[in-house]
Structure 1
Amino acid sequence: MPLRPAQVNIKALDPAATGRFWAAALGWTASTGTPGATTYVGPPGPFVWPDPVTVGIDFVAVPEPRTATKNRVHLDLATTSAAHHAELVAHLRSLGATPADVGQGEVPWTVLADPEGNEFCVLEPREVYRDTGPVAAIVVDCRDPRAMARFWDGALDWTLHRVTEDQAVFRSARGVGPYLEFIRTPDVKTVPDRVHLDLLPYPGDDAAAEAARLRALGATDLDLGQGEVPWTCLADPEGHELCVLAPS
């Protein structure tokens, strides 16, 4: 059975502090995993993983600071009105977000960076994102959206909603939670990804078999110095990093 996105994985010098920022930004809750090593941010209420609707965020400690290179994966946040947009931007600024210039020029959305420099966008109100929750989309820069559509359509159990020369758009087959969008950009990978997707097999499925299936679709093995771990590190055909986790 195809995989499901379980979480967005973000490397951080201080996962607890960065997790607290994002929990406050989204109105979610930060939960400590391994003390000092991981912080998971997900919807409020009893801890549920993987969340049945949203895609949570897992902040993982690394010793290397972020480079000045723009992340190839970022989050778009949803707003419901012009007033909500202004209020959210002001709230995020008060939490420690700063304006970011990624060459966007004059656009109706606002580009910010979190306290560790990870870019994200606060979108103007868009009808398509009215029911996503606070995260409208997980956005991935790519050179060839059609190629990404072919690989990720085979990899995931999500539905491919649209594919053009400029973008490929996925969403959960149940029509809930954020979108996953591959957007054409001229950028190519020059540094290791700071942000990537963690994919999870369904209970009863075999993680090794799922990793083998992704390799057959065009994924390649990735050595990040992870050593012996219960997950498999791969890269998609354009080099975007991803992990196949062990079923829970």
Structure 2
Amino acid sequence: MALRPVQVNIKALDVSAVGRFWAEALGWSAYSPGVTTYVGPVGGLVWPDPVGVGVDVVPVPEPKTTAKNRVHLDLATTSAAHQAELVARLQALGATPAHVGQGDVPWTVLADPEGNEFCVLEPREIYRDTGPIAAVVVDCADPRAMARFWGEAMDWTLHEVTDDHAVLRSAKGVGPYLEFLRTPDAKTVHGRVHLDLLPYPGDDKAAEVARLRALGATDLDLGQGDVPWTCLADPEGHEFCVLAPS
């Protein structure tokens, strides 16, 4: 049994506007199959067995607080010129500079039109084949513990783990990395960005949820009501959802 991340879930007041921003930012297409806006590679939704990690923008009634999100996207670039062009294009689309204590670094920190932070990285060889999203990055207190939990939760491969950094990627060697970075700040509010996991076709969602609870996940009530997905939190409180295969 195993799960795979299939969506980065971003909460927004204006789903259509934020969806359009991320579609333009990533060079992908935006689809609105219901109340959410899904952003993925050109070609349409591939469901219930998506092969990559997309972005799902979901509506919420409240704006983002000033607290920094503990999950963010890193965008890949291929050259210094590409990085500069991408930053300029994103700002023209409505992104704004963000200051999260990064200091003098070679990457650029921006926020989407509703304040969700993300980074435009300088060219790095490791991300040359990831597509537009280089990594989904999670702030945490203990990368080793996060690597243990998420390594057991998913079928992705652990590439690196230290006291300060843990890195996983799909065993197929495609798409973005999932990275856990040690940070001093504690989680204080529910996140506006989280991962959605999906069982493989034919696998039992209830059994997968039970397995995650045994690994240390806890149930999470976000006011979701009676929905086909299950909201959980990892051992450090990062929210995530297990979707129902259909």
**TM-score after normalising by structure 1:** 0.97
CA distance in structure 2 between the partners assigned to 1:51 and 1:134 by the alignment: 17
Contact 2:31 2:44 in 1 (8 A): no
Pick from 167, 179, 182: which aligns with 1:181? 179
Partner of 1:60: 58
CA distance in structure 2 between the partners assigned to 1:39 and 1:63 by the alignment: 16
Partner of 1:159: 157
CA distance in structure 2 between the partners assigned to 1:160 and 1:185 by the alignment: 20
CA distance in structure 2 between the partners assigned to 1:46 and 1:138 by the alignment: 22
Post-superposition Cα deviations, 1:196-235, rounded to whole Å, max 9, x if no partner, equal 0000001111111100000000000001111111111100
Contact 2:15 2:59 in 1 (8 A): yes
Partner of 1:200: 198
Runs of 4+ in 1 over 2 A off after TM superposition: none
Pick from 68, 71, 89: which aligns with 2:69? 71
How many percent of aligned residue pairs carry the same amino acid? 79
Amino acid corresponding to residue 67 of structure 2 in structure 1: T
Q: CA deviation at 1:6?
A: 1.1
Amino acid corresponding to residue 61 of structure 1 in structure 2: P
CA distance in structure 2 between the partners assigned to 1:46 and 1:61 by the alignment: 21
Amino acid corresponding to residue 50 of structure 2 in structure 1: D
Amino acid corresponding to residue 58 of structure 1 in structure 2: D
Pick from 169, 172, 176: which aligns with 2:170? 172
Partner of 1:86: 84
Post-superposition Cα deviations, 1:45-79, rounded to whole Å, max 9, x if no partner, equal 23323531x31000000001100000000000000
Determine helix, strand or coil for the equivalent of 2:209: helix
Pairing of 1:167-246 with structure 2 (within 5 A): 167-246=165-244
Amino acid corresponding to residue 106 of structure 2 in structure 1: P
Unaligned runs of 5+ in 2: none
Amino acid corresponding to residue 28 of structure 2 in structure 1: W
CA distance in structure 1 between the partners assigned to 2:226 and 2:45 by the alignment: 27
**TM-score after normalising by structure 2:** 0.98
Unaligned runs of 5+ in 1: none
Amino acid corresponding to residue 100 of structure 1 in structure 2: A
CA distance in structure 2 between the partners assigned to 1:211 and 1:19 by the alignment: 29
Q: Confirm or deny that 1:101 pairs with 2:92.
A: no
Query: What is the number of equivalent residue pairs in this alignment?
Result: 245
Post-superposition Cα deviations, 1:129-156, rounded to whole Å, max 9, x if no partner, equal 0000000000000000000011001000
CA distance in structure 1 between the partners assigned to 2:187 and 2:179 by the alignment: 17
Amino acid corresponding to residue 31 of structure 2 in structure 1: S
Determine helix, strand or coil for the equivalent of 1:67: coil
Determine helix, strand or coil for the equivalent of 2:24: helix
Partner of 1:2: 2
Pairing of 1:14-163 with structure 2 (within 5 A): 14-34=14-34, 37-49=35-47, 50-52=49-51, 54-163=52-161
CA distance in structure 2 between the partners assigned to 1:74 and 1:188 by the alignment: 16
Amino acid corresponding to residue 51 of structure 1 in structure 2: P
CA distance in structure 2 between the partners assigned to 1:105 and 1:62 by the alignment: 32
Amino acid corresponding to residue 25 of structure 1 in structure 2: A
